[in-house]
Structure 1
Amino acid sequence: MTKQYDAVIIGGGHNGLVCAYYLARAGKSVRVLERRPIVGGAAVTEEFHPGFRNSVASYTVSLLQPKVIADMRLAERGLRIVERPISNFLPQSDGGYLKLGGGLERTQAEFRRFSKHDADALPGYYEALDTVADVLRDLALKSPPNMGEGLHTLISAARQGRGLAKLSLSQQRDVLDLFTKSARTFLDSWFESEAVKAAFGFDAVVGNFASPDTPGSAYVLLHHVFGEVNGKKGAWGHAIGGMGAITQAMRAACEEAGVEITLEAPVARVLVDNGRAVGVKLEGGAEVMGGAVVSNVGPRLLYDHLIAAEDLEPEFRRRVKGFKVGSGTFRMNVALSELPRFACLPEPGEHHQSGIIIAPTLDYMDRAYIDAKLTGMAREPIVEMLIPSTVDDSLAPPGQHVASLFCQQFAPELPDGRSWDDAREQAADLIIDTVERWAPGFKASVIARQIHSPLDLERKFGLTGGDIMHGNMSLDQLWSARPFLGNGAYRGPLKGLYLCGAGTHPGGGVTGAPGHNAAREILGEKSLWRRLTRAA
């Protein structure tokens, strides 16, 4: 007799594990089905060359919800996060450099070398972003109102709108600017130095196949300041042992709560009976039945490949085709014989423990995007390098290092029908050569490299178009409209079908928020208050 679970979760990425934990903690029987031989999705640590280990895809910590860390007791399970001494280091074309972070006064002193105006403007800029970020941070662990649910929609919208309503007119203007303007337009209103604008503007293109001139890119800039490390807002850090340390601690929490986790169990199809999701069929033919089917994979993968077309309304299928994916991301890990020696600051220092940004101006970022639109890849790509082995000696042999290279802009699909299988080595060479121009000798120090093109990211992690966000973070794909208006709040178009991944509110990054919120919605589905307000 086939066992019936209260919930079957497709995908053991971090949000799937978070959702599973909260459901199991509430007494539900839960089974997680993971395609790969390890849980964690894109937040995993692998040895990619003998003696060298690193975070494979996700590579840095900030957005992980403190509530999730506390509830799952991740610190007690061994998770330790080390804060960066400074946030970012940007070499400049004139041989100089800019450091961002380390406190307001220190950053102001750094900015003053470029512009007194910008140094003076910095406190106001931080205050504006912090005010808006606090309001939106508060919404991260709240389910957005699901349009079309009558009184329930109105009550939810009114409750969540109170934070915005309390803002002053000037602050409400900042909200409008951040949601609608380009990063350049927004930053131009605050700063005059191109280096300073680049230091902040980089966040607007992280996982965003767009130019800093693209309307709406200012919001992506804001999305990356939501987080905190060890209670410090806006900070970034490294998980000792790599990002896999997070998801392995989550796995331990799930198993302690009674979650069944099955590895190497790829789902072929969601089973639908009379308009209701009732379970899944694995590629091997076995069926796993559940009162709720919860998808941790992206909306495009779910609706294009795991649900039969005849089980979805034609209008909904059209919406799915219009859902935008493709983050323009190319990920590499490299084993190094020594630390990079940057021409502007060659000796070892705190800059090696920061995010090293090769993108000196917004114009540089814009050209990278234009190149990628025309040819598939930037001639001078945007590169963020992190060298976690400077703070974590478990990742590389003594005296040697590993570096994460997070690179933009690389089109999800190459023009002229070319495949990334044929272009991945060319792109990897281009990235290494780009770093070499800023850090002479870097190329010779590379012992080995692990390459993930957009196609590799799709095949390995199920990220459609290589999209690390599971879908663009544009205004039409946020909050109640993520992934679709009327199918927000973690609900699919079929009864019993839920979503708990980054394709739902509040979006991408290793946050745990979608998993947390989805579990709450599943548990509250039959509450009297919800039934009454939905019926009204």
Structure 2
Amino acid sequence: MGSQVAGAGDVDALIIGAGHNGLTCAAYLAAAGLRVLVLEKNEVVGGAAVTEEFHPGFRNSVASYTVSLLNPKVIADLELARHGLRVVHRPAANFWPVDETRYLLMRGGLEERQAAIAKFSKRDAERLADYDATLERAADVLRDLVLTTPPNAGGGILEAIKGAGVGRRLWGLGLDEKRVLLDLFTRSATDFLDEWFENETVKAAFAFDGIVGNFAAPSTPGSAYVLLHHCFGEVNGKRGAWGHAIGGMGAITQAMAASGRERGVEIRTGAKVREIICRDGGVAAGVVLDSGEVIHARSVVANVPPKLLFRDLVPAGAVSQQTRSTFTGMKTGSGTFRMNVALSELPDFLCRPGKTMQDHHGAGIVIGPTLDYLERAYLDARLEGWSRAPVVEMLIPSTLDDSLAPPGQHVASLFVQHVAPHLPAGRSWSDPREKEAFADLVIETVTRHAPNFKAAVLARQVLSPLDLEERFGLVDGDIFHGALSLDQLFSTRPRLGYANYRLPLGGLYLCGSGAHPGGGVTGAPGHNAAREIIRDFRGWGRGPFRISQKA
């Protein structure tokens, strides 16, 4: 049923949600000649990748906040540079304040990074080159799979053929490479890193990627994959690099919207979908808006989390209760708390003094000095609702982009772990006192390392997991639309039997982060879903596809 295309409608493809994947999918579909309408409930396109003024004169990325995973093929195909996108590199990757005198600053090439690590462990510095090479080989496998459609379990001979192609890629690896992949997909970040490094700060520096957007401890099985997931990106051709989009993350989605409109995509904001229309015993045929307006479509493409889609938008009786439960039972919750602050001056760190711009101010500044610190942050949140000593990643994008703040002042993004998606009994994120109390703790946490920070805060924007859900549709505040766990990856993402972007209703597709390859600002799910939708419209094997299978 999922491969059917509905009958006549107002448009060929109606996309729910103008986040970056919805816009990507729309641009590809329009380029293939389809009539495309994108509906966005908010008043601005971009979903979680938006820039806004949160205090007079201060603008910043509201939710998503940094660039690396955006696929280079998507950038090229949508001509995002021509539509105004410019991405710059960070002067250093990451900066970890440890105490009043020690810090780990990862910048430059291998030798500089080894010199930084050698201050903590000479043995770890010596192992860095082999570790980098091992992770890069594993990341290469992911890069090869990112723009593929996973083999869909139970999908018949065509899916078996696809599966054979993927299998050849994987089984062509050497035994050692297969072992590393198995470890990364199944083990904890702690177990994986223990085999490489000895120093707790060095291990924490690498383990941090394993808990970003992942409500888990570094000792949780599967966290090693999340670590790998954050390693396969690139910026301006430099693999593994991180950068900043001039104008904030909204610059990405504004460029995508411009690319789509140039190809004929219609985008409507302030258009919240109330329900998907179903006909003929299980075919998606359009939507009803909150306003009561009915829009018919030959296909409906969801750029929303699968849990939200089946909880709120697929009408009762359209699918069996068991099918509905399959999707509403997905694991969600990133343990994420998001803040933006306006600053009168740059933070002056005890371990690396100075209020004038230095390379560490342009890095990802991570408060999470040891592996035990990361572990306790998760355990606190599980027991108490939030971490007593939270893990904070702070970026100060105004050091790279003077369009975001008045001269001499700055904006900072604070991405914080861990908070429970739902607080213990008797407490709720709907209580403003809860999020303000935790926001105070976050400010104090940074201030312990940079004593001028609290006094420098002029204003703040605070988003709890509930805020992330209500504003952006991120169920339980999950930035990935569903946990990146082994049972929700590749052929099991979003659920077993639905990995090929087609959902249980005919003409209903998934193009968001809940589909392969998962979360982050990549554009890959939108790219891949568009390819499958075009395939269904044209019929298998009829006519040339305008979207290539490989990057």
Question: CA offsets, 1:90-120, max 9 Å, x none?
Answer: 0113630001231111101111111111111
Native 8 Å contact 1:356 1:385 kept in 2: yes
* AA of the residue aligned to 2:99: S
Structure 2 residue 137 is matched with structure 1 residue 108: no
TM-score scaled by length of structure 2: 0.95
Q: How much does 1:346 deviate?
A: 1.4
User: Counterparts of 1:193-208 in structure 2 under 5 Å?
Assistant: 193-208=199-214
Native 8 Å contact 2:18 2:303 kept in 1: yes
Determine the C-alpha separation between the residues in 2 that align with 1:528 and 1:206: 40
* AA of the residue aligned to 2:350: A
Aligned to 1:402: 411
Question: CA offsets, 1:474-527, max 9 Å, x none?
Answer: 000000111101011111111100000000000000000000000000001255
Native 8 Å contact 2:9 2:285 kept in 1: no
Native 8 Å contact 2:518 2:525 kept in 1: yes
Q: How much does 1:162 deviate?
A: 2.0
Determine the C-alpha separation between the residues in 2 that align with 1:431 and 1:421: 19
Structure 2, unpaired ranges of 5+: 1-7, 543-551
Structure 2 residue 17 is matched with structure 1 residue 11: yes
TM-score scaled by length of structure 1: 0.97
Native 8 Å contact 1:152 1:530 kept in 2: no
Q: How much does 1:315 deviate?
A: 1.7
Q: How much does 1:411 deviate?
A: 0.6
Native 8 Å contact 2:488 2:494 kept in 1: yes
Aligned partner of residue 64 in structure 2, secondary structure: coil
Structure 2 residue 246 is matched with structure 1 residue 240: yes
- Counterpart of 1:331 (choices 330, 333, 338) is 338
Aligned partner of residue 366 in structure 1, secondary structure: helix
- Counterpart of 2:39 (choices 33, 39, 61) is 33
Native 8 Å contact 1:180 1:475 kept in 2: yes
* AA of the residue aligned to 2:427: R
Question: CA offsets, 1:123-174, max 9 Å, x none?
Answer: 1111111101101111101111111111112111111122211211011000
Determine the C-alpha separation between the residues in 2 that align with 1:204 and 1:149: 32
Q: How much does 1:309 deviate?
A: 2.6
- In the superposition, relative to structure 1, how do residues 528 and 398 fare at CA in structure 2: closer, same or farther (>3 Å)? closer
Structure 2 residue 490 is matched with structure 1 residue 483: no
Q: How much does 1:65 deviate?
A: 0.5
Determine the C-alpha separation between the residues in 1 that align with 2:506 and 2:283: 5
Structure 2 residue 510 is matched with structure 1 residue 499: yes
Determine the C-alpha separation between the residues in 2 that align with 1:276 and 1:3: 13
Aligned partner of residue 16 in structure 1, secondary structure: helix
Determine the C-alpha separation between the residues in 1 that align with 2:538 and 2:202: 51
Q: How much does 1:214 deviate?
A: 0.2
Determine the C-alpha separation between the residues in 2 that align with 1:528 and 1:23: 15
Moved more, 92-101 or 209-218: 92-101
Native 8 Å contact 2:117 2:124 kept in 1: yes
Aligned to 1:388: 397
Moved more, 98-107 or 461-470: 98-107
- Counterpart of 1:340 (choices 343, 347, 353) is 347
Question: CA offsets, 1:50-107, max 9 Å, x none?
Answer: 0000000000000001011111111111111110121100011363000123111110
Aligned to 2:529: 518
Determine the C-alpha separation between the residues in 2 that align with 1:394 and 1:161: 48
Q: How much does 1:453 deviate?
A: 0.5
Cα RMSD of the aligned pairs, angstroms, is: 1.2
Structure 2 residue 372 is matched with structure 1 residue 366: no
Structure 2 residue 124 is matched with structure 1 residue 118: yes
Determine the C-alpha separation between the residues in 2 that align with 1:469 and 1:299: 11
User: Counterparts of 1:21-170 in structure 2 under 5 Å?
Assistant: 21-93=27-99, 95-170=101-176
- In the superposition, relative to structure 1, how do residues 300 and 219 fare at CA in structure 2: closer, same or farther (>3 Å)? same
Q: How much does 1:417 deviate?
A: 3.5
Structure 2 residue 434 is matched with structure 1 residue 427: no
Q: How much does 1:528 deviate?
A: 5.3
Structure 2 residue 230 is matched with structure 1 residue 224: yes
Q: How much does 1:362 deviate?
A: 1.2
Moved more, 144-153 or 214-223: 144-153
Native 8 Å contact 2:364 2:393 kept in 1: yes
Q: How much does 1:3 deviate?
A: 5.8
Aligned to 2:265: 259
Structure 2 residue 382 is matched with structure 1 residue 376: no
Determine the C-alpha separation between the residues in 2 that align with 1:94 and 1:387: 21
Determine the C-alpha separation between the residues in 2 that align with 1:104 and 1:417: 51
Structure 2 residue 303 is matched with structure 1 residue 296: yes
Aligned partner of residue 412 in structure 2, secondary structure: strand
Determine the C-alpha separation between the residues in 1 that align with 2:372 and 2:56: 40
Aligned partner of residue 525 in structure 1, secondary structure: helix
Question: CA offsets, 1:392-439, max 9 Å, x none?
Answer: 000000000000000010110001141113211011101001111111
Determine the C-alpha separation between the residues in 1 that align with 2:528 and 2:296: 23
Native 8 Å contact 2:308 2:328 kept in 1: no
Determine the C-alpha separation between the residues in 1 that align with 2:237 and 2:386: 38
Determine the C-alpha separation between the residues in 2 that align with 1:223 and 1:181: 14
